[in-house]
Structure 1
Amino acid sequence: MIFLTPLALIGLVALPVIYWLVKATPPPPKEQAYPSLQILRRLRAGRADTARSPLWLLVLRLLAVALLVLGLSQPVWLGRDLSAQPSQDLVLVLDNGWAAVPHWQERLRAARSLAERRFRAGHEVTLLLSAPDADGSMAAPFTTRDRARFEERLLALTPHSWPSDRAQSARQVDALRDNTSQGTVRDIVLLSDGVSTPADPSLARALHASGSRVSDMRWPGCDTMLLSAHQGDNGALTASFSALPCPTRPLAVRARDENGGTLGIFPLTGKDASGTDLPLPPLLRDRATRLALESDTLPLPGPSALYLLDAGQRRHPVGLLTPGTQDTPLTGQGFFLAQAIEGVGELHRGAVPDLLKQKLSVLIATDGTLADDDTHRRVADWVRHGGVLIRFAGPVLASDPNASSPDKAKTLLPVPLMGGMRQLGGPMSWGKPQVLSAFAEHSPFDGLALPKEVTVTRQVLAQPTAELGDHVWARLSDGTPLVTASAFGQGELVLFHVTGTADWSSLPLSGLFPAMLERLVQRSVGQKDQSELRQLVPFTMLDAHGQLVAPPEAARPLSVEAFATTRPDVQHPPGFYGPRLSRRAFNLGDHLPPITPEALMGTALTPDHVSPDHALAPYLLGAALLLLLADFLVALWLRGMLGRLAMLGLLVAAPALMAPHCALAQEDDEAPKTQAVTHGTVPGAALETRLGYVLTGHDDIDEASREGLQGLSNYASDRSSAVMGHPDGVTPGKDDLAYYPMLYWPITEDVQEDPKRSAALNSFMAHGGILMLDTQGVGSELSTQDEGQTRSALKRATAGLVVPPLSKLDDHHVLAHSFYLLHDFPGRVQGLPVWVARSGDDSNDDVSPIIIGAGDWAHAWAMDAQGNTPYAVIPGGDDQRTQAYRFGVNLLLYALTGNYKADQMRVPELLKRMEQ
């Protein structure tokens, strides 16, 4: 231990003086006789003053003064420093590249601790950094004897996202040795990141050539990992990583979209997780912009644990050509097509001359938009040069006499058409409405799920020819073409034999329609910026915290030819290169070799060998103040004033102490039964309105259910009069379900039959509770689960449940207007049906006791502790999430209030009868 202000110890000399003053005895009183006052004769001489202070009070006061003096002398308890003797100057070589991001603060604390003892001994400390600065230059050696300047320098340091340059560090060490006067000895401590580089031998030679004692401090490398990924020919993503030797621990990869939403979490298997597939559906894979390596659900630090995805190498602008009369909301083709294209490509609207100036990849034309000769000529020339034209049939095309011509330049149709249109269903039709047939293998729609509810009532027919089968991409169940296509010049002509609205078919109302358009848009040639063919300019770079920031000053463009072979450095840091709409990702994991441990360059040193100094002054001064306070209280007690002080404090605190008891007394008067109700342990759901979710045994699903219902409760509390508490996880058959108005149950594939659970749920529904079953998006393009297994799981979950006859939820049901007016009921996915009890059941006031769907609503409602929405909503984004929240509010109020909204529909009839 040392004293930073040793002169203050002179104050200890005052202790004997204080002792003498406190211990001094006052002189005895002088006796004087007063003969005239007889009464005084009866008095006996005695001392009322204390002759001396009690020993314990004397010791207390002396100890308080001693602690005060010692605290003012600023004693410091010296920490450990086993690196070397503090009798020489010190050189610190600090790695500050990407591999130093883990344990960065611990590295700074170690550097501070190593330097403090040298400063106290009056020696110099020199700091060398191994990674170049943002301007491309190496930081000059920083040498000082001033502790404050060194501290200021450390606080200004941040790690970089590019590797260390140990060759430059070796040259700095050599220069430092050459500039050192003869006879001067320095200790060198290397604060290494532990990752091997090709320049390690050069730095090791420079360190040992200096003649100094070299120590090499290392930290555990469990957080130093390098993530990489690649996309196979089938589009599937495969992740791998390399790491320093470390005990095995569970790792996972989280896929995120451009807004930070979670698209999926995938555990990594194997020792190095080489070749672990990430089963992202195609629609989600196209939206993923980064992968993040996590351990124990916490992201690993640094840019090496991130992998940027450049799915946007090629953009696909889409032009939509519609007459103004077809843009009517909910009815016009322009409205339906714009909604379907949203999230698929860049949508542009306008006249043909303006659209074709924008270098489109796809042009969508509705019925009647290509009748003008000039427009026809412009579009034909555009398709010949590589464009894709998607047309929709209609009355104009059905009555066009030129549609039967085989000349594609004249018709801009992939196949010749028959005159008129075919009508299915009705007394004058050719047959009943047709459903879709399975897509052929050569069709771009191969693999898309076929909704059974899609039917076609009218269409235009293609002329039967020998080559017709080669141009058909989609058929009806009777074999007639629904979508045909053929090449035209360097481009392609595609025709939907129905309209883009629901008047000829229900296809535009289904989730299949946007999926088909997405396949067509993605298979188009696309547009590339010409600058990408020559060089890629830095766009945004990853910093040490994994955030995309502006490129550093030293960043330079990358040529396309050298992109795959360039090593990351300060001129080529990790990030995105190229134009915004065709940027390419430059990742550490793709351009660095696998991580290998760095060889020791000196005496092995761990952070345990160095610990910081501890200042004792705050503790000593605090103890002195406590003792002085105790002395003050003792003085009041000796004077008989402590009781008065306590009484004064009690009077001041009485109002605050009495307020809760008065409130409780008032509550007891108003509600005398409260004591009986709240006697014993009461569930929280009995004291406030809460939603419940069925525990599945899967931590990720249960956590999503909790966050989802919490987000819905917050949303409903902010926008309605319902005051909701936090949700509870329950196990039917074990927990009392009577307190919950609604239970949310996400169905998993491993659910099994449970008669006890079914009995509890039947009782819950029979007494007015609503059970919501969610198969979590199964049946949509976002799900990788097998539909057959999910149906079997749903059958096992509902075994023994009293399920009434069900019907599809529509906008006439009370759920569609219990609070918000809704026309659809999306969750994280949209387009999937929701099933409720068929109307007319008076046993429960016509309230559906069960709701079954696959919208994956919990992930859409989910809100984490920071108020963020961690899961992406596909494809509608924030608008779809808002609709999901609104459906949740309707569902919540439906569970709380029942069918009262249905009664409001009868108000006009009741008023009419009252008037009669």
Structure 2
Amino acid sequence: MILLAPFLLLGLLTLPALWWLVRATPPAPQDQRFPSLLILNRLTARREDAARSPLWLLLLRMAAVALVIFGLARPVLTPHQAETGNGPLTLVLDDGWAAIPHWNERISAALALGETAIRNGQDVTLLHAARAPDGAMPEAFTTHDAHALSEHLSRLRPQPWPTDRQALASLLQHRDLSGQRVMILSDGLATDGDNALHDALAKARSVQDMRWNGCDILRLAASTGQDGALHARVDTLSCPTRTLTLHAANANGGTLAAYPVRTGQDQTISLPPLLRNQLDHLTLEGATGPAAVHLMGQADHRRPVGILQTPGDATPLVGSAFFLNRALQPISDLHSGDATALLGAPLSVLIATDGALSGDQTRSRVLNWVRHGGMLVRFAGPGLAADQGAASDATSDALLPVHLMSGMRQLGGPMSWGKPQTLAPFPETSPFSDLTIPPDVTVSRQVLAKPETGLTDHVWAALSDGTPLVTARAEGNGEIVLFHVTASPDWSNVPLSGLFPDMLERLIERSAGVAGGGPSELAPWRIVGSDGGLIMPPQATRSIRVSDLAHTPVSVTHPAGLYGPAHGTHALNLSDSAPAMKEEALLGTRISPDGAHTDRPLGPALMTAGLLLLLLDLILSLRRRGLLGALGVACLLILPVAHAQTPTQMPPLPTTVPQAALDTRLAYVITGHDDIDTVSREGLQGLSDFTTARSSATLGHPDGVVPGKDDLAFYPLLYWPVTPDAQPDPERTKALNAFMDHGGILLIDEQGAGTDTDSGTSSAARAALQRVTDGLVVPPLAKLTEKHVLAHTFYLLHSGFPGRVAGQPVYVARNGDEANDDVSPVIIGNGDWAHAWAVDGSGNHPFAVIPGGEDQRTQAYRFGMNMVLYALTGNYKNDQAQYPEMLRRLGTPDNGAAATSPDSVDEEDAP
């Protein structure tokens, strides 16, 4: 411990004088009443001496004054340092992206080491290992003032690019380190310049290497595999394997999906097509900086699809383009037109139905486009079958993956002995290999491929008799794919099956993305900052050639971020072209950062203790003088006056009263899954805030309940997200029946099972719903329409009742049930409303809403608010007494002539 103002200890010399001043304290005078003066005659005079203060009180006063004096002397507790040494101190600070996990500890250690050296009369020099945003190495900072060092360190931030130890070594070569103590605050990650730095430090008097736990350095990498799927991986140093959470997010930061990922192992990012097209970046939960973010870039996943039009091809239920549009619209960026219009814009896949490639100029242009990286998907038909009998040219042959036989083959029907053929299992080399073939998919007509050597190498799908259904061949840098059937149901029922969009989706994923048309030089648009967010590029950032993007390492001139035009960006990530992570060899004697702590000032604590002792002395002195009681009476007289000036407060309620009995709250059923329960709580919180802000209803925080254990009587609406593993519970069923019987409304949500957000749990969710609702007294249900009171309880809803997903039906009790005043006790749907309502601690919406975005989220909030007010007020909106007010808002006089339905009121004009 040291004293920053030791001269103030001279104040201790005043303690003897203080002792002399306060040691004699006369006792308080006493009033005594005598019944008669005769008693005075019996009193004998007695000499009384002045009373002295007791020793313990004098010691208390001396201790209080001494503590105040010691506090004014500014004592500082200095922690034990690992090694102080003599001579000037040079601190080398690793401030690249790998230093982010322990940045605050690193700054604290640098300050502690610097303060120790400055107290010993030594200068401190600070050097940086990463380049500054202007591209230059930061200048050395030298000081002998602890305050200046603290101010300088507090302004430092880590850089989102690697350290440049080669440049640091060159800087050290020009400095005299012969009498210097060098302390390196290393991130522990090996780089190409480590040997050069080691040689540059050889002339220093001593070198120490302070390191933190290298297992906290994580680097997220992602790539597209040969199967077309996205694979993610979290790289670390040689550390034990641990499990982290990986989030797939859209451009607004909404979570599309979350995956558990183990360090050092690949994780497949499987998303439905609709969500895959929205994927903007991957983030690692619990980590920050560019190493925890992997950007996709628009050019990495934009795969526009074009359909060559032919006359009458888009006729509903007949034309081939009609079925292609229905299959492709949910999974791609779809365009239609002629070859000139389609190939004049960026395009990944071109689909040509039968007869669409007519004309030599069109065929030549399409062939040239394919050879430059495009994918052509053709469909057979009568026109293609007839063309095989005529003379063909080289261009026509080049636009087919295999040679075809003339005519078509018919299977089944009055003119054929055969019968329609089913599909054979897909070959392992086919992009369709893991797709499930429905047993009812058959083919009745096809064009046949000539049986030639090597034909099987081009077959991606075949019929059960071995004849090809889909063939493909590489042409230049692109591919040509042929379906040997039509895109309409004329020749097969493939276009009517769920297999058809799945096959087209695999072909789109296999395509090479946007081919051509972009700039050769990609200017920086946004870079990833130290906190993981996108910021403006710094001064030193330079453009990248498209051809160099794949092998450009991240540096100060090319930081991780997005390059190119705003609507066609290319991503450069920290893991791209980066070497494997290795631990850096020690640059000196290894020391632990455990002992590097900053000084702790003791002055405020000592002064506080001294003032408390003086307060105690005051109380004891009043007590000895008999004034403590008077002080207490004065406080009692003052308290009623102060109490009268404050608003009247209700006495505290017994602790046994539930909080839900004091304010209106929504509730959700606890499922036992932390992620689902968290979403339920955040969703009902968002709905409660929305309702409170837009109506006179004031809702408190939502509660999680367990039916059968918790009292449900306080809640008007109970949200129940049914999980696929939910099991029946008699106690829960009994409690829910009682809840609905007494006027409560139960909202059952299948959470989007079977939709694009959760396509794999449809059957499991339906089975779970049947299990858990067995025994519930549910009235006959009907599909919710805009005529129901729920559609105009507050907002007038005409566009459905969406949640996170749209288009899912909602079921309520059928109208006409006199029980509970014709109010539906149960609402069942699959909209996944909680994810749409959810609001996190920052007030943001963490989950994306598809396909309508924020407009759909608004609709979900409005439907949720209608449900809340429906639960609170019942079906009063069906009362005819409400009609005049609603007609007044429509501007229609209530004369009976214009019997306008209240359902026609626009949502924005709702009461």
TM superposition score normalised by structure 2: 0.74
1:747-770 Cα shifts (integer Å, max 9, x gaps): 111112223322322222222222
Tell me, yes or no, if structure 1 residue 601 matches structure 2 residue 595. Answer: no
Partner of 1:206: 200
Q: Displacement of 1:716 after TM fit?
A: 1.0
Tell me, yes or no, if structure 1 residue 885 matches structure 2 residue 861. Answer: yes
Partner of 1:727: 702
- CA separation of 1:626/1:756 partners in 2, compared to 1, >3 Å: closer, same or farther? closer
- For the residue of structure 1 that corresponds to 2:824, the secondary structure is coil
- CA separation of 1:186/1:47 partners in 2, compared to 1, >3 Å: closer, same or farther? farther
Tell me, yes or no, if structure 1 residue 196 matches structure 2 residue 172. Answer: no
Identity fraction in percent: 48
- CA separation of 1:521/1:835 partners in 2, compared to 1, >3 Å: closer, same or farther? farther
- For residue 293 of structure 1, the aligned residue among 256, 267, 284 is 284
Partner of 1:66: 66
C-alpha contact 1:126 1:142 (8 A) present in aligned 2: yes
Tell me, yes or no, if structure 1 residue 833 matches structure 2 residue 832. Answer: no
Q: Displacement of 1:25 after TM fit?
A: 8.7
Partners of 1:449 and 1:906 in 2: CA distance: 56
Tell me, yes or no, if structure 1 residue 302 matches structure 2 residue 292. Answer: no
Tell me, yes or no, if structure 1 residue 902 matches structure 2 residue 878. Answer: yes
Tell me, yes or no, if structure 1 residue 846 matches structure 2 residue 822. Answer: yes
Partners of 1:905 and 1:824 in 2: CA distance: 26
- For the residue of structure 1 that corresponds to 2:782, the secondary structure is strand
Partner of 2:141: 142
Tell me, yes or no, if structure 1 residue 754 matches structure 2 residue 725. Answer: no
1:823-880 Cα shifts (integer Å, max 9, x gaps): 3000000011112222222223322222221110010011122222111111111111
Tell me, yes or no, if structure 1 residue 278 matches structure 2 residue 269. Answer: yes
Partners of 1:243 and 1:769 in 2: CA distance: 52
- CA separation of 1:658/1:49 partners in 2, compared to 1, >3 Å: closer, same or farther? farther
1:270-321 Cα shifts (integer Å, max 9, x gaps): xx34221223222112212111112xxxx2122211111124447578999x
- For residue 614 of structure 2, the aligned residue among 628, 633, 636 is 628
Trace 1:557-576 onto structure 2 (pairs within 5 A). 557-576=543-562
- For the residue of structure 2 that corresponds to 1:582, the secondary structure is coil
- For residue 548 of structure 1, the aligned residue among 534, 550, 562 is 534
Q: Displacement of 1:60 after TM fit?
A: 2.4
Partners of 1:617 and 1:291 in 2: CA distance: 49
- CA separation of 1:609/1:314 partners in 2, compared to 1, >3 Å: closer, same or farther? closer
Partner of 2:669: 694
Partners of 1:731 and 1:7 in 2: CA distance: 67
- For the residue of structure 1 that corresponds to 2:879, the secondary structure is helix
Partner of 2:602: 616
State the AA in 1 paired with 2:607: L
Partners of 1:734 and 1:194 in 2: CA distance: 53
State the AA in 2 paired with 1:744: Y
1:251-279 Cα shifts (integer Å, max 9, x gaps): 1101111111111111114xx34221223
- For the residue of structure 2 that corresponds to 1:214, the secondary structure is strand
Partners of 1:168 and 1:600 in 2: CA distance: 19
C-alpha contact 1:83 1:609 (8 A) present in aligned 2: no
The alignment's C-alpha RMSD in Å is 5.1
- CA separation of 1:653/1:3 partners in 2, compared to 1, >3 Å: closer, same or farther? same
Partner of 2:563: 577
C-alpha contact 1:529 1:582 (8 A) present in aligned 2: no
Partners of 1:523 and 1:107 in 2: CA distance: 46
C-alpha contact 2:4 2:73 (8 A) present in aligned 1: yes
State the AA in 1 paired with 2:230: L
Partners of 1:303 and 1:443 in 2: CA distance: 33
Partner of 1:152: 151
- CA separation of 1:25/1:567 partners in 2, compared to 1, >3 Å: closer, same or farther? closer
C-alpha contact 1:226 1:594 (8 A) present in aligned 2: no
Q: Displacement of 1:12 after TM fit?
A: 1.7
Q: Displacement of 1:903 after TM fit?
A: 2.7
Tell me, yes or no, if structure 1 residue 267 matches structure 2 residue 238. Answer: no
Of stretches 879-888 and 134-143 in structure 1, the one that deviates more from structure 2 is 134-143
Count of equivalent residues: 771
Tell me, yes or no, if structure 1 residue 258 matches structure 2 residue 251. Answer: yes
Of stretches 57-66 and 522-531 in structure 1, the one that deviates more from structure 2 is 522-531
The unaligned stretches of length 5 or more in structure 1 are 27-38, 321-337, 365-378, 389-405, 407-436, 451-463, 470-489, 499-506, 666-674
- For the residue of structure 1 that corresponds to 2:139, the secondary structure is coil
Partner of 1:764: 739
Partners of 2:212 and 2:589 in 1: CA distance: 14
- CA separation of 1:754/1:639 partners in 2, compared to 1, >3 Å: closer, same or farther? closer
- CA separation of 1:879/1:521 partners in 2, compared to 1, >3 Å: closer, same or farther? farther
Partners of 1:530 and 1:739 in 2: CA distance: 63
Partners of 1:566 and 1:787 in 2: CA distance: 44
Partners of 1:56 and 1:624 in 2: CA distance: 16
Partner of 1:165: 164
Partners of 1:46 and 1:357 in 2: CA distance: 124
Partners of 2:329 and 2:764 in 1: CA distance: 32
Partners of 1:574 and 1:905 in 2: CA distance: 64
State the AA in 2 paired with 1:127: L
Trace 1:318-357 onto structure 2 (pairs within 5 A). none
1:128-164 Cα shifts (integer Å, max 9, x gaps): 1111111111112222212222222212211011111
Partner of 1:223: 216
Partners of 2:295 and 2:17 in 1: CA distance: 74
Partner of 2:834: 858
C-alpha contact 1:815 1:890 (8 A) present in aligned 2: yes
Partners of 1:519 and 1:878 in 2: CA distance: 29
Partners of 1:602 and 1:622 in 2: CA distance: 45
Partners of 1:844 and 1:911 in 2: CA distance: 33
1:714-740 Cα shifts (integer Å, max 9, x gaps): 111111222212222222222222222
- For the residue of structure 2 that corresponds to 1:561, the secondary structure is helix
Partner of 1:684: 659
Partners of 1:356 and 1:251 in 2: CA distance: 44
Q: Displacement of 1:221 after TM fit?
A: 2.6
Partner of 2:476: none
Partners of 1:382 and 1:566 in 2: CA distance: 34
- For the residue of structure 1 that corresponds to 2:548, the secondary structure is coil
Partners of 1:715 and 1:447 in 2: CA distance: 43
- CA separation of 1:849/1:164 partners in 2, compared to 1, >3 Å: closer, same or farther? same
